Chains A and B, each alone.
Chain A
Amino acid sequence: MTHLPLSQTIDQVFVLSKAAIMGHIPAPFQPIASAILSVAPVLVVFPLLFAITTVLERKGLGRMQNRYGPNRVGPFGFSQPIADGIKSLTKEDVIPRTADQVVHFLAPLLLVLAAFLAYAVLPIGRNMVIANLSAGVLFFFAIGSMVELAVFMAGWSSRSKYSLLGAMRAVAQMISYEIPLVLSTIVVIMATGTLSTVAIVDAQARYIGILPHWYVFTPWGFCGFILFMIAATAESNRSPFDLPEGESEIIAGYYIEYSGFKFALFFLGEYLGMFATSGLAITLFLGGWSAPLSSLTWIPSYLWFLLKLLAFIAAFIWVRGTFPRLRMDQLMAFAWKFMLPMTLLNIFDAAVWHLMPHNILRWLVCIALLAIPCLLLNLNLKQRKQLQIRTYRFAD
């Protein structure tokens, strides 16, 4: 066994420890032991992150609204997730009498299953990925499309008009935003020439001088990243695209008829989906586990991934605390009239970038190619908008 420097040993501590454990396991059980050892950390770490995120989100939102947020359970309220967990576990599991029992039961399981499956292709650190599939990105989107089915099952089987409305909204929204989501990743696939997430990160884990070779630092990468994040927000039903859940109109949307632990499973599934799409955005545009500066590579790769993920979560919370909910027609118009043209244009822009010679002109042309249509599209959308001052005929 070769002796690695300390920083690399820390970086590969999980990989090495897994190899050490595998050495003690008899050969017939090795495949299944390897699978368990790879999957179990994901099953532990991300639900734990979900628990921490719930309390951080509530505290963050509270502070944004000049409130304290939860501060009763444990030190500074950080034991709140435990209390929530106990509460949701001990609550009565109510199933509506008219509900379709089997489908009603299966929907949250399918949602959580799909959310967990998506982590299979995310490289969490150097050499740390459950399955290095050659069509990894495609796998991610294929699994993501199963979420729609789960949402529909939940909404339909509850036999409630609110849940059905929520499910219809959610499915319409997810289908509409899945197209820009997938199309905005095409530019990265064009640049690397592979669908494997591991290869995409490897392509970005290089440095020009001290600056990283991340795709977000190119015109098409930046545009793709912004479009991807907007579509990802809509895909994970986060505010301001949270109208499938719309607490003020359809109470909780498709999971209104769920209670107790199934409700918690829906929450878990939503947040896991959010983390997974954030993870994919990090993988595709922000260099995955690679350090942002060449001098910072001594920090373990998984910590970089986690830091980037936390930054994404903070951004999600910030956006949720700021923007009001869109209306259904605004949502659809935004998806089809702005996002879709921009993603298609972005693909064209990436092609131009690859074909032009490497000089400053390439930057100018590619930025102009994106900025000018973006401005024009916005002006066009703005003109259509007929804002008027609301007048009250009977009340003064």
Chain B
Amino acid sequence: MLGNGLLKGLTETARNFFGSYVDKDRLTTIQYPEERAPRIEASRNFPFLVYDGTDPQAGLRCVSCLICEKECPPKCIFIEKSTDKKPDAVGKPQFYPTRFNIDVSVCMSCQICVEVCPFDAIKMDNDFEASATGRFSDLLWTKERLAKSNEYYHHIHPTEAADVDAVLAAARAKAAAPRPPAPSAPGGAPEK
């Protein structure tokens, strides 16, 4: 019939209109400050630094190798390497960053820093409540702001964090195990 589609559309919107007053399940929106949607595991926005143990600064996994700083495409990471070594979470002396700043106004959330980090020290966060009132000072995140515990990491990315922990544990077990005897030079090449 003529105008059938128009009427069908009008009834649909009318049904939505009245239905949304009767049936609360129709309303798909979440009233944000009061209620929050669960964070999506696969989402990411800005990097954070993982620490083990209880002390956010001493427990940082970062050894200040500067790879992420060099790889960062928009150059938003600034690291100042320490001159001395301090024991890390497992007690091994390591270099540590005296300053570790990320300018989140520049960061493009590409995750390359995470990909290149050999120590699983930097990971992507998905905390979206990052608004700030200071345009310059509040958007330059320092080491203190960036440090977040491994438990937090487990909380936001459970699968990924479990994998990372497994890999780290394997590496530590390997390091702790007695070193196997060095294999002899292959092919019996003459040694000078």
Direct contact of A and B (CB under 8 A): yes
Which of the residues B2, B6, B9, B16 comes within 8 Å of A378, measured between beta carbons?
B2
Q: CB distance A318 to B29 under 8 Å? A: no
Q: CB distance B28 to A63 under 8 Å? A: no
Q: Can you pick out 21 interface pairs between chain A and chain B where the beta carbons lie within 8 Å of each other?
A: A63-B17, A63-B20, A64-B16, A66-B19, A66-B20, A66-B26, A66-B28, A66-B29, A67-B20, A67-B29, A68-B29, A318-B10, A318-B13, A318-B14, A318-B17, A321-B13, A322-B13, A323-B6, A323-B9, A375-B2, A378-B2
Nearest opposing residue in chain B for A65, CB measure: B16
- Chain B: minimal CB distance from A20 (Å): 44
The answer, yes or no, to whether A60 is at the interface (CB within 8 Å) is yes
Q: CB distance A322 to B12 under 8 Å? A: yes
The answer, yes or no, to whether B27 is at the interface (CB within 8 Å) is yes
The answer, yes or no, to whether B137 is at the interface (CB within 8 Å) is no
| Residues 45-65 (chain A) with a chain B CB within 8 angstroms | 60, 63-65
| Residues 88-132 (chain B) with a chain A CB within 8 angstroms | none
B-side interface size class: 10 to 19
The answer, yes or no, to whether B184 is at the interface (CB within 8 Å) is no
Q: CB distance B12 to A63 under 8 Å? A: no
Tell me, in angstroms, the Cα distance from A64 to B27 when the chains sit together: 10
Question: A residues touching B (Cβ–Cβ < 8 Å)?
Answer: 60, 63-68, 318-319, 321-323, 374-375, 378
Count of A-B residue pairs with CB < 8 Å: 40
The answer, yes or no, to whether B21 is at the interface (CB within 8 Å) is yes
- Chain A: minimal CB distance from B27 (Å): 6
Question: B residues touching A (Cβ–Cβ < 8 Å)?
Answer: 2, 6, 9-10, 12-14, 16-17, 19-21, 26-29, 31
Say what secondary structure dominates the interface of chain A. helix
Q: A375-B2, A378-B2 are in contact. Are A64 and B31 (CB under 8 A)?
A: no
Tell me, in angstroms, the Cα distance from A378 to B27 when the chains sit together: 38
Tell me, in angstroms, the Cα distance from A238 to B31 when the chains sit together: 30
Tell me, in angstroms, the Cα distance from A274 to B85 when the chains sit together: 74
Q: CB distance B16 to A63 under 8 Å? A: yes
Tell me, in angstroms, the Cα distance from A65 to B27 when the chains sit together: 9
